[in-house]
Structure 1
Amino acid sequence: MLCHLHISNFAIVRALEIDWADGMSTITGETGAGKSIAIDALSLCLGERTDATVVRPGADKADIVATFDVSNLVSAQKWLTEQDLAMANECIVRRVINSEGRSRGYINGVQVPAQQLKVLGQHLLSIHGQHAHQQLMKGDYQRQLIDSFAGHQAAINNTKAAWKQWQQLQHEYTELEQSKQQRDAQRQLLEYQVAELDAFAPNADEYCSLEAEHNLLSHGQTLLSESQQVVQMLYDDEQQNIYQALSAAHAQLEQLSTLDPALTSISQMLNDALVQTEEASRELRRYSDKMELDPERLDYVDQRLSQWLNLARKHHTSNEELANLHQQLSSQLAELTCNDARLASLADEIEQAKQHYAEQATRLSQQRKIAAEQLSKKITASMHELSMSNANFHIALIEQSLEQASINGIDAVEFQVSTNPGQPLQAMQKVASGGELSRISLAIQVILADKVTTPTLIFDEVDVGISGPVAAGVGKLLRQLGDKTQIICVTHLPQVASQGHQQLFVEKYTDGVDTETRMFALNDEQRISEIARLLAGENISASALANARELLCAPAV
């Protein structure tokens, strides 16, 4: 519940501290005094849009702080814990708006976006304004009211999930069907391309291997003849070869090293060269012996390389990427084939999803019918209490075809009213006057608020346009609700104001230079005077005071 509200430099409020009690609190005051100022500030504190005009002229910022007791609010505690914002059993919400219109929001001292303030606010209170009945004429809002009263969220979720699955499958089918002609043309091209590449069968590393082999085969004769020439030069030429020359040089230097040991290392170098020359000659001879010229293999490799180059150029890819392209095109063709198979199977899946949605929506519709009957009786009874004794209220559920269905089910909802005996039920907006709509709206709000046990309910002049016995009935309804939950009601009616467990008064004060709004709790005597003022105006008579005491059930003085 709301425990405390601090307001500073908001509109014409300089500073305001309000302690709120449980039960029903009524707020009254003179016309133009700003009776709704606290409600407006609270709305901004809980995330409503704002601008610089809310800041009191001359001030640099407006500051609003609301303190709530959340010890019994399971949903609020759960949300705060999930957001890592929990703080024992108390929740402090703050909104600061500077003179340039920028704002900052805080929950338990942690800065948060305005959207989080708004989400938290849904767990803390509900504000009903004087124009709430305008929403009442909209079919979607009427359906939401039934669902709120019924509390069948699981059935709603199941219907929505079934609808989404059905629509998703239909969307998939439509896309595949619309692209079928394009896929057919693409598949024909891919089938030709893949068949051509399948026949060629390029392997991932084959191109580099082919290039290397082609280079070797095309130079085979040169490699063979010249390697044999080198063997002749190194070792095999009987007249003159490198090995013989090195051998003679080594022998001569070896003799000289006996005269000068410094030549020993050089002699060793020549000896090593002899060994290397002999080994090189042996390896070259072995290489030449193995070398075989293969014109047929060269022709095959040459042809395959030519095909490779032609296909790469034809498919606009590099030689090295041709094998990868083959795999990609094969995958694309397989995917197109799968899409066609998917299209063939979707029809059955769509029909199954449609039937599943129909089952869930029908189950939801049946639950709505039960709730609609119960809610109709409750609203009719409340209308009788609000001086509409001959009225009859009925919620009509019109079952639609699956072609007209939506994510919310198969029901079209219409609130119907008969206000006089003998009159048939008709759509509420056609036969109910503005005052009657306000009473019906209030009755529904009270009934639903009781059903969903909202922690704090705020009614901002919802009693506009009513008086007399009707006002008394409204007051009793709100008082009844205030026995179960916290009610804050801004009103101009003495019959409503007197029903509050406590009453606050709003006044506008000016010293000729500045103007500000003040709000304070009334004691018993002040409350009698205020109720008398609401009854008789500024000239309060003894009769008005007596009537006020009677309304308040207060003893005479």
Structure 2
Amino acid sequence: MLTRLAIRNIVLIEALDLDFPGGLGVLTGETGAGKSILLDALGLVLGNRADSGLLRAGEERASVTATFEFGVLPAAVREVLVEAEVEIEPGEPLILRRTLKSDGASKAFVNDQPVGAALLRELAPALVELHGQHDDRGLVNPRGHRALLDRYAGADVAGVEAAWRDWRTAGAKLAEARAAIEQAKADEDLLIAYVAELAALEPQEGEEDMLAGARADMQKGERLSGDLEELRVLWDGSDSALATLRGAGRRLDRIAVEHPLLAEALAALDRAVIEAGEAETKLEAAAGALSHDPAELDRIETRLFELRALARKHRCEVDELPAKMREMRAALDAIEAGDAEIGALEAAERAAHGTYRARAEALHANRVAAALRLDEAVAGELAPLKLDAARFRTAVAEQPEERWGPHGIDSVEFLIATNPGAEFAALGKIASGGELSRFILALKVALAEQGGAATVIFDEIDRGVGGAVASAIGERLERLAEGGQLLAVTHSPQVAARGCTHYVIAKSSEGTVTRTSVHLLDSAGRQEEIARMLSGAEITSEARAQADRLLEGV
């Protein structure tokens, strides 16, 4: 709940620090004293548009700080903070601050961490619920009516949401599979042709490198063929250099015993013959490896051309062609198995749809029953609030399937008719602001809702009523404030007397300087303020006595 509000340099407020306890707090004061300034300041710190017109005359900067404290941080608040990556320790108060400069620029902070004003607006619905004379938020906005009815009914919306997600997931899988099969069938003839073309060529991984290497060797052989032939002549035949060396060796062998140097010469010649023989062997091997077969070279080049052309066709590398062929065969197999797969997915989608519909219809029945109970409860609150002729209806309408969603198959809206015979209409279409506020009060009392905003503010809900109606309003505000926090800006002494705490808002002037101040009243101050509200400008003893009776009667 809101525990502290600090305002600096907002309109007529120079410096103001207010502490708010729980229960019902009332704010009173003369007309024009500045009650709306408090609400404007609170609106600023809750993310309303920054307006330099809020700045106190002659000042360069203004600020508003609102402190909220909770036993357990509300889930809606925690989710917003987690999403925005704003850290807050367990048990730590939530402190919102907004600064405003004379040029209209503003800054926002949550627990001294800079944030955007949009984050304050996201937090606001879970923190403060404001009901004014012509407010279009809170209970007036039909967007929240379904959730309010569900809370009142204790409905199992989570189960419907889970069934909705399962149904949407099953539908998405079915649609994806159908699209894939349809695309595959559209490409089936082309796939068959591609697979046949690839199968005929039978590409192998690593084949391109092997063929390219063989072609390079053959092309080298073609270039070196003349040199190799000349070398072969040098080593082949009876007149070759190697044959001459061997002949010299045989002749030297016969005379080598005649002198040691001849023996050494023979040994050297033998080594030369051995080396020359090895050279001959390697030349023959090289000639074989570099042999140039024009027909084989042509076959290799043709094969390389076909492989590379097919790779370009399928926009892949040559080595990827075998995998591409397997992929296309798998697509063809999927087409054959597609009908069975689609059948299974259709069955799963039907089952998920049936589960969702069953849960949504059960939720619908729960909502209809709860709507009747709520209508009866609201009707019981109307007469004491001088709305005897008014009627209230919770409209639960089943929607067409295309508008079903995670919250079920219904639209929910609170409708009212203020005069006999009048048509039911939306809450926000009531002409009288006073009637609207009292309707909202009746609805909140009937809902006795839990899980709403931490702090509820009613701004002059009692305007235009008095006597028994004002007493009925005060009694219901007091009841609503039990266990929570409700603040009421009021002109009614009957309402003011119900407050646990009472603040008076006053405006004073010193020369050309005007200030608005707010003070917490003690018992004597409450009696005097309520007496003023009863009697007007001159407070009489009769007014004080009546104020005592009001305070004693609550």
TM-score, structure 1 length as denominator? 0.78
Distance of aligned partners of 1:274 and 1:147 in 2 relative to their CA distance in 1, 3 Å threshold: farther
Structure 1: distance between partners of 2:93 and 2:138 = 33
1:454-533 matched pairs, under 5 angstroms: 454-533=453-532
1:65 and 1:206 map into 2 onto residues whose CA distance is: 76
1:310 Cα deviation after fit: 4.3
Distance change (3 Å), C-alpha of 1:137 and 1:37:
closer
Out of 394, 412, 427, which is 2:424 matched to? 427
1:391–1:419 Cα contact (<8 Å) kept: yes
TM-score w.r.t. the length of structure 2 is 0.79
SS at match of 1:452: coil
Partner of 1:230: 231
SS at structure 1 position matched to 2:50: coil
Distance 1:286 1:449, change over 3 A: same
Alignment partner, residue 46 of structure 1 = 46
Residues of 1 paired with 2:338 and 2:229: CA distance?
Answer: 64
One-letter amino acid of the structure 2 residue matched with residue 91 of structure 1: L
Q: Map of 1:43-122 to 2, 5 A cutoff?
A: 43-71=43-71, 73=73, 75=75, 83-86=86-89, 88-122=91-125
1:327-366 mapped onto 2 (5 Å cutoff): 345-366=344-365
**What pairs with 1:248-267 in structure 2 (closer than 5 Å)?**
none
Q: Which sits farther off after the overlay, 46-55 or 193-202? A: 46-55
Distance 1:316 1:233 in 2: 52
**Structure 2 CA distance for aligned equivalents of residues 326 and 524 of structure 1:** 92
Partners in 2 of 1:179 and 1:289 — Cα distance? Answer: 55
Task: Provide the C-alpha distance between the structure 1 equivalents of 2:317 and 2:113, rounded to a whole number of angstroms.
Answer: 59
Post-superposition offset of 1:459 = 1.8
Shift of 1:7: 0.7
Preserved contact between residue 71 and residue 89 of structure 1 (Cα < 8 Å): no
| Paired residue secondary structure (1:209) | helix
The alpha carbon displacement at 1:100 in A equals 3.2
The 10-residue stretch of structure 1 (510-519 or 217-226) with the greater mean CA deviation from structure 2: 217-226
Query: What residue is the counterpart of 2:437 in the other structure?
Result: 438
Shifted more, 445-454 versus 269-278: the winner is: 269-278
Q: Give percent identity, aligned residues only.
A: 33
- Tell me how far apart the structure 2 counterparts of residues 272 and 31 of structure 1 sit (CA, whole Å): 129
Give runs of aligned pairs for residues 167-316 of structure 1, distance below 5 A: 167=168, 169-170=170-171, 184-217=185-218, 226-227=227-228, 229-233=230-234, 238=239, 240=241, 278-288=277-287, 297-298=296-297, 300-312=299-311
Partner SS, residue 131 of structure 2: strand
Distance in 1 (CA, whole Å) between partners of 2:314 and 2:92 is 71
User: In 2, are the aligned partners of 1:217 and 1:298 still within 8 Å (CA)?
Assistant: yes
Seen in structure 2, the aligned counterparts of structure 1 residues 186 and 512 have a Cα distance that, compared at 3 Å, is farther
**Partner SS, residue 32 of structure 1:** coil
For 1:291 and 1:75, locate their aligned partners in 2 and report how far apart those are by CA, in whole Å.
81
Distance 1:301 1:190, change over 3 A: same
Q: Secondary structure at the match of 2:377?
A: helix
Contact 2:67 2:96 in 1 (8 A): yes
Q: 2:186 & 2:399 partners in 1: Cα distance?
A: 41
Q: CA RMSD in A?
A: 4.4
2:36 paired with 1:36: yes
**Aligned-pair CA distance for 1:355:** 0.9
Greater mean alpha carbon deviation, residues 227-236 or residues 498-507 = 227-236
Aligned length: 532
Shift of 1:409: 1.4
Give deviations 1:301-320, integer Å, cap 9, x for gaps. 34423433543565577767
User: 405-414 or 201-210: which moved more?
Assistant: 405-414
Q: Write the distance in 2 (CA, Å) between the matches of 1:551 and 1:45.
A: 35
- TM alignment of 1:365-384, pairs within 5 A: 365-384=364-383
SS at match of 1:451: coil
Distance change in 2, residues 1:286/1:215 (3 Å): closer
Please give the secondary structure, in 1, of the residue aligned with 2:394.
strand
Preserved CA contact (<8 Å) 1:24 1:478: yes
Q: Give the AA of the match of 1:44.
A: L
Secondary structure of the corresponding residue to residue 96 of structure 1: strand
1:93 is displaced (CA, Å) by 2.8
Bigger shift: 348-357 or 298-307? 298-307
In the alignment, the residues of structure 2 paired with residue 432 and residue 492 of structure 1 have an alpha-carbon distance, to the nearest angstrom, of 22
Distance verdict in 2 for CA 1:469–1:96, change over 3 Å: same
For each residue in 1:7-30, what CA deviation from the matched residue of structure 2 results, as whole angstroms up to 9, or x when unmatched? 101233211111222221111122
Residue equivalent to 2:129: 126
Superposed displacement of residue 487, structure 1 = 1.5
**Distance (Å, rounded) in 2 between the aligned partners of 1:515 and 1:233:** 124
Query: Offset of 1:535 from its aligned partner?
Result: 3.2
User: Counterparts of 2:494 and 2:333 in 1: how far apart (Å)?
Assistant: 78
Q: Distance in 2 between matches of 1:64 and 1:91?
A: 14
Runs of 5+ in structure 1 lacking a partner?
A: 252-268
| 1:173 CA drift (Å) | 5.6
Shift of 1:200: 1.6
Query: 1:246-290 deviations in whole A, cap 9, x for unaligned?
Result: x99xx9xxxxxxxxxxxxxxxxx9999987655333322344567
CA contact (8 A) 2:131 2:437 kept: no
Q: What amino acid is the match of 1:532?
A: A
SS at the partner of 1:149? helix
Q: Deviations over 1:388-429 (max 9, x none)?
A: 457664434344454553433122435455778xx6896354
Unaligned residue ranges in structure 2 (runs of 5+): 253-267
Q: Which residue of 1 aligns with 2:256?
A: none
Tell me the equivalent position of 1:11: 11
Q: Is contact 1:162-1:357 (8 Å) kept?
A: yes
* Aligned-partner Cα distance in 1 for 2:367–2:240: 117
Residue in structure 1 matched with residue 163 of structure 2 by the alignment: 162
Q: Deviations over 1:442-477 (max 9, x none)?
A: 122244455337543222233344333222211110
What whole-Å deviation, never above 9, does each CA across 1:313-345 have from its counterpart, x for those lacking one? 655777677667656766776777787776555
